[in-house]
Structure 1
Amino acid sequence: MKITSSQMLMPLIKQSSAILFDLDGTLFNLHIQWQDIRQHILSHYKRTYGIEIPEKKKFFKIFRYIRTEQGDQAFQYYQDYMRNQELIALKEKRFEPLKLFTMGIEKMAEHLRFDCFFGIVSNNFHETILEILNQFGSNDKFKVIIGRNDVSNEKPNPEGLIRIMDGYDLLPEKVLFIGDSKVDEEAAERAQINFIYVDDLNRILKIEE
């Protein structure tokens, strides 16, 4: 269920067993030229295989096409390229925390059950997530982290969300996922869990960006 109001959100926070977050655009902004990376992949694929990938806007569709047409080795090659681009951004410190990370999590924590935990489900790589959290001394805030390379199918496939629910024996109605994109919303819908956009959450919690 998509959450849009305080009347919906606050009771849900108080009874949730887990609150899960996307990373880029939700907890942090990573300043990575995703469109340049996308274009590089499309151009390199055409040079390498002599054919064009049909125009697709989302990375998950591009990677699905590569894996289907060329197999796991080609898929992993382009995954590694993306991982390297993220690591370069980290090395150059091209990221910053958003208000949800610096203020919102603490505001939410005031209302949580004692056994509720935080987690991250992101299409960024696991190493990227850990390194960013480590730089802010925040690894212990999140009980579970699932990145792109921890699953066979990234969001909007709900695999990462479902893995957490299965691993911790969680009821879908007691899980809240917070994200910034239609990909996040679709993943939550397919996992049958609650979802709220980060902008709506900030508005309800009165967090100014």
Structure 2
Amino acid sequence: MTLPDLSAFDAVVYDLDGTLVDLRVDWNDTARDAAAVLRDAGVDADSLDLWKMLDAADEAGVRDELEREIAAHEREGARLSDRLPLADLLAEDGVPSGVCSLNAEDACRVALDVHDLSDHVDAVVGRDTVATQKPDPEPLLTTLERMAVGPDSAVFVGDSARDEVTADRAGIAFRYVDGGPSGV
């Protein structure tokens, strides 16, 4: 694995899953349990993916319940997660660092704790921290704000085209953790 060269930047924001760790989440079980939450609210979710379920939960007024269900799966996956090589760079880079993720903030924090990375991270923004999610730039810009760092001196490191689009929309440099995009 070839890690990105981040030495030209004064701060780094990392995606979490697929970048610093691999969360061991059974997404099929998560979707099944999320669909049950929606069915209980009178919503037919059988044909919806998790992202569309979140939208449907907003419309049905059960977003908080659905978030709790998904986050529970993510927290368990975080406890069982595997540390990836870039996590070693995070622990050693000596610059302000943050995490901006599509996972729930508390699941991010569990993964960081499990892998002894929490002391190296200055800000964590998850799917449920702000009102929007990647590829909207708000989560990434909020991470930088909490780090007291401007977009011009930082880089966002991720594993997907969605991460790259987020960085572009936020006006921040981007590097893939390894290779190229794995999907939006």
Relative to the length of structure 2, the TM-score reads 0.80
Q: In structure 2, what is the equivalent of residue 31 of structure 1?
A: 24
Q: In structure 2, what is the equivalent of residue 125 of structure 1?
A: 104
Letter in 1 for 2:60: Q
1:80 aligned to which of 49, 65, 68: 68
Corresponding pairs, count: 179
1:105 maps onto 2:99 in alignment: no
- In 2 relative to 1, CA 75–134 (structure 1 residues): closer, same or farther, beyond 3 Å? same
The superposition leaves residues 139-182 of structure 1 with CA deviations (integer Å, 9 ceiling, x where unpaired) of: 21111111222211122222121113344554323221011122
1:160 maps onto 2:139 in alignment: yes
Partner Cα separation in structure 2 for residue 17 and residue 193 of structure 1: 12
Structure (1 or 2) with the greater helix fraction: 1
Q: In structure 2, what is the equivalent of residue 140 of structure 1?
A: 119
For the 8 Å contact 1:60–1:155, the answer to whether it is kept is: no
Q: CA deviation at 1:196?
A: 1.4
The superposition leaves residues 27-57 of structure 1 with CA deviations (integer Å, 9 ceiling, x where unpaired) of: 001111113312432354245315347x555
For the 8 Å contact 2:135–2:166, the answer to whether it is kept is: yes
- In 2 relative to 1, CA 18–125 (structure 1 residues): closer, same or farther, beyond 3 Å? same
Partner Cα separation in structure 1 for residue 140 and residue 73 of structure 2: 25
Partner-residue secondary structure (3-state), 1:84: helix
For the 8 Å contact 1:60–1:154, the answer to whether it is kept is: no
The superposition leaves residues 91-116 of structure 1 with CA deviations (integer Å, 9 ceiling, x where unpaired) of: xx4211001113x3367x2xx7xxx4
1:171 maps onto 2:150 in alignment: yes
- In 2 relative to 1, CA 106–187 (structure 1 residues): closer, same or farther, beyond 3 Å? same
- In 2 relative to 1, CA 81–43 (structure 1 residues): closer, same or farther, beyond 3 Å? closer
- In 2 relative to 1, CA 172–56 (structure 1 residues): closer, same or farther, beyond 3 Å? farther
Question: RMSD across aligned C-alpha pairs, in angstroms?
Answer: 2.8
Relative to the length of structure 1, the TM-score reads 0.72
Q: In structure 2, what is the equivalent of residue 42 of structure 1?
A: 35
2:171 aligned to which of 192, 202, 208: 192
Q: How does 1:5-16 map to 2 (within 5 A)?
A: 10=5, 13-16=6-9
Tell which structure's C-alpha radius of gyration is larger: 1
Partner-residue secondary structure (3-state), 1:199: coil
Q: CA deviation at 1:119?
A: 0.8
- In 2 relative to 1, CA 47–145 (structure 1 residues): closer, same or farther, beyond 3 Å? closer
Q: In structure 2, what is the equivalent of residue 207 of structure 1?
A: none
For the 8 Å contact 2:16–2:108, the answer to whether it is kept is: yes
Letter in 1 for 2:67: Q
2:56 aligned to which of 51, 65, 69: 65
For the 8 Å contact 2:97–2:147, the answer to whether it is kept is: no
Unaligned runs of 5+ in 2: none
Partner-residue secondary structure (3-state), 2:31: helix
Partner Cα separation in structure 1 for residue 113 and residue 148 of structure 2: 28
